[in-house]
Amino acid sequence: MSDRRDDIRYELALASRMLANEGVLDAFGHVSLRHPGDPNRFLLSRSRSPLLVEAGDILEFTLDAEPVRASTERLFAERVIHGCIYQARPDVMAVCHHHAAAVLPFCIAGVPIVPVFHLGAAGGASIPFWNQHDEFGDTNLLVAKPEEGRSLARALGPHVAVLMRHHGATVVGGDLRELVSRSTFMCQNAVYQLQAHLLGRVVPLTPGETKLAGSLNALPNVVGRTWEYWSHRLVEAGRMPPRSAVRKTKSPPARRSAAKGKAARRKRTRS
Active site residues: 78
Largest CA distance in the chain: 87
* CB-count exposure of residue 81 (10 Å: 0-12, 13-18, 19+): buried
Q: How far apart are CA 68 and CA 78, in angstroms?
A: 17
| CB burial readout 227-265, b (16+ within 10 A) else e | beebbeebeeeeebbeeebeeeeeeeeeeeeeeeeeeee
- Strands 161-164 and 129-130 turn out to be parallel
Q: How far apart are CA 62 and CA 38, in angstroms?
A: 10
